[in-house]
Structure formats: C-alpha cells, structure tokens
Amino acid sequence: MQFKIIFRITLFSVLCTISTLATAAIKPLDHIVVIVNDDVITNTMLNNRVVDFRQQLQLSQLSRIDPESLKKQVLERMIRDTIQLQQAKQFGITVDDLMLNRMLEQIAKTNNLSLDDFRSTIEGEGINYARFREQTRDEIIIKQLQQRVVASKISVSDQEVRQYIEQSESLDASAVNYHLRHILISTPEAASAEDISKAENKARDIYNRILDGEQFEDLAIKESNGRNALNGGDLGDRKASELPQLFIDAIRGLHAGETSTPVKSASGFHLLQVISSSDDQLMIEQTHARHILIRTSSEISDNDAKQLLSELKRKIENGEKFAVVASEFSEDPGSKIKGGDLGWSGPGDFVPAFENVVADMEIGKISEPFKSKFGWHILEVLERRDHNKTQANKENLARDAIQKRKIDEELRLWLRRIRDEAYVEFIED
C-alpha cells in the first residue's frame, strides 16, 4: 500500500514537470516548407533569405513590395538554386574556403575596400555576413555549373558571325545600347493549350496594370518567373545585338518608360520596358607605345629591377635611343626585337596597371618605373589616334554577342526543364 502511494506521488511529480516544460516551450519549432528532391527548405532558411533580400530591396528602393509576394519569389529562387546545387554536387563541382576567400577579396578590392572593411560594410547594411559568404559560395558553384552544362556547349559559326555583322550594319543595331526591364510569365516545357492561354491572359493582365499606373519593377518582383525578378526585372545595359531578335522587334519604336505588349517565345510570354537607349560610340582611342620590361626573380628583387630601370631611363633622357636600350635590356620577347614597340592598342588590350600608366602619360615622355604582374616597366607613348573598329574587332564583338544571346536563351530553357523535372513538394504549416 505504501509502495503504491509513493509511486503515485512520483508519477504526479513527473507529470507536473512535463506540463511545466511544455508550457515554457511555447516557441514554435522549425518546420519544412518545401521538399526539393532529397533536400528540404525549412521555414528558418526561408525567413533568413527573405530578410537578406528585403534588406537588398531596401537598398534598391524597392522595399514597398508586400511581404507575401517577396516571400513567394524568394522561395522560388531558393528552389531553383537548390536544384542547381544538387546537380553541381553530382558533377563534383565545389568551392573551397581558399577559393571563396579570394573571390570575396576580389569583390572587396573592386569596391576599394579591404576584406575586413568589406565585411563591416556588409554587416552595417544589416546583412548577416556568414549567410552572405555562403550565398556567395553557392552563386560561384551555380555559375560553374551553368558554364559546364550550358555555356560550354554553345558554339558560334563563322557564317553566323558574317550574317550578324551584315544585319547589324544594315539595321545599325550594333550602335544602340538598351537598358531594359523584363517580366516573364513562363509556360511548362510541354505546355497544353490551356497552359498557354492562362499564361497569355496573365501577361495581358499585367500589361494592363502597368498601363493603369502600377510600377513595372513591383510587378516583376511579384509575378515574373524570370531570373532577374528580384532585381525588379532589370536586365542592365545590353547592346541590341546581345538581345534576342524577339526582344528587338518588341521594343522597336518604344521610348524610355514605355512597355511592350506581351510577346510569346518557347519560354512563355515576355513584357519589356525600355529604361533608356543610346547610340554607342563606334570610334575608340588607340595608343602607340613602347616599353622596357625587367622581370623579378630569385636573383633580381623588386628594388633591383626598379633601380635598373631608373638608370635606363636616365640613359634615354641623356640621348641614347629608346629602341637600342630596349633591344639590349628588355625581357619582353615579343617587343624586344622591335625596340620595345607595342604597336597600336586600345582599351582592354593591356592589364590595368599598365593601361592606367599609358592613359596618364604625355606623348614623348618616359614614365617612372612601375610594376605590373609581369614585372617592372618604363614606357613611352609615341602617339594617339581615334580609330574606327577594325573588321577583326567587329568579328570578335559579333561572336561574343551571338554567344551571349544563345547562352541566355539556352539557360532560360534549361532552368525551366530542370525545374519541371525536379520533385518539389510544398508542405503546409
């Protein structure tokens, strides 16, 4: 009898303890929002990503988007990224910490910041740096995947280049730059007539809402299935030749701020808004220069190379021929036999450290010794000229433009295909 009483008292104590703990633990547990093949997206992951995007949108003055629309768009981006990261894993594509750190240092450097200052700036804008770092890693992996499965398979024939140049010159398309916004209402790869009709009606409804005064970028974030949706559909500045012919036809005759009617492609229905357009400058400034290069090694330090070039500079200024000195001392085999002559060059032909000195030098003056990744230099600018783009430049630009256009089109179709083929299950709360 006594044992039963003790047992009941103990059981009552345990139940009271459990009840107390349950009352204290009112905070909801994390839960799965979406299953994507073998991975999951949890509510915490989604909320963290929404917070990060919300902060970026505030910086872009697009914070007026309602939370549900933003959450829907961010979730779709996360699903698409998850599918791509899964495929990257199958290909063995990884980005280690060393590679990631180098990329972050490069990003910081382009903003004239050290890595520590860059981190402080990111955190000062309300963005979690650890998440930013991992998202950057994912973006690098995804770009490498897209390069492998899409971009590397794109080829451009000589005939396509010739046709492009002829068409561009006849239409003067190569001389126009467009800054566009884009909304895509996608259709499935094997779309039925009902699917197509539904997408077309939605695109026309969005077009009418834009005409009634709604902001294009707001609707892009809310409704677009395009890759640039979270940027308000902003495609950035592009040459007309880099855009699909479908887009060129749609915006022909439109002025800044005007929006095209919906146009159909294999991906779905597109709306395009012209932010601005301008004539591109066909003339480039070329520089004729020569230089002397001294490479550093285990035997020649930076200081030794710099001192030798200072002595060579004095010799030239005292009357010795630059070409003679270059032929004797320069360690650039390509220009050494020509007295250091580099010929005519335009923007982008040299590394930045060299090009910056070329741009600042007066004609006929000898530079102070300066360093590039190749070694130490002195140089002289002989002359400058405005020069029309050569046929070779036209062909290179044409090939790049065609390739970029093809990659954009194939990437859009590939993303739709892998999204359709993936197992995606939305879990209700």
- Domains of the chain, by residue range, sit at 34-151, 173-282, 283-388
CATH of domain 283-388: 3.10.50.40
- Output the CA torsion 188→190→193→197 (10° steps): 20
Q: Is the predicted pLDDT of residue 379 greater than 70, yes or no?
A: yes
Q: Is the predicted pLDDT of residue 10 greater than 60, yes or no?
A: no
173-282 matches 283-388 in fold: yes
Average of pLDDT values for 339-358? Answer: 90
Determine the pLDDT at residue 238: 86
Average of pLDDT values for 257-268? Answer: 94
Q: Mutual orientation of helices 115-124 and 97-110 as an angle, nearest 10°?
A: 80
Determine the pLDDT at residue 60: 57
Type of residue numbered 327: S
- The residue behind tokens 């022909």 is 252
pTM higher than 0.75: no
Residues 321/362, Cβ–Cβ less than 8 Å: no
Q: What are phi and psi of 369, to 5 degrees?
A: -60, 135
Q: Is the predicted pLDDT of residue 16 greater than 50, yes or no?
A: no
Average of pLDDT values for 270-297? Answer: 83
What residues form DSSP beta bridges with 276?
179
Determine the pLDDT at residue 56: 74
Q: Is the predicted pLDDT of residue 196 greater than 50, yes or no?
A: yes
- At the second CATH level, the architecture of 173-282 is Roll (3.10)
Determine the pLDDT at residue 298: 83
Determine the pLDDT at residue 15: 37
Determine the pLDDT at residue 282: 53
Determine the pLDDT at residue 64: 67
Structure tokens at 113: 């910041």
Type of residue numbered 336: K
Q: Is the predicted pLDDT of residue 20 greater than 60, yes or no?
A: no
Distance, in Å, from the CA atom of 406 to the CA atom of 425, rounded to the nearest integer, reads 32
- For residue 348, name the pLDDT band (cuts at 50, 70, 90): confident
Determine the pLDDT at residue 106: 85
pLDDT in tens, 238-255: 888 788 889 989 998 888
Strand 268-279's sheet: what is its strand order? 234-239, 176-186, 268-279, 263-264
Average of pLDDT values for 386-399? Answer: 72
State the average pLDDT for the chain: 85
Average of pLDDT values for 154-182? Answer: 79
Looking at CATH, the fold of the domain delimited by 34-151 is given as Triger factor/SurA peptide-binding fold (1.10.4030)
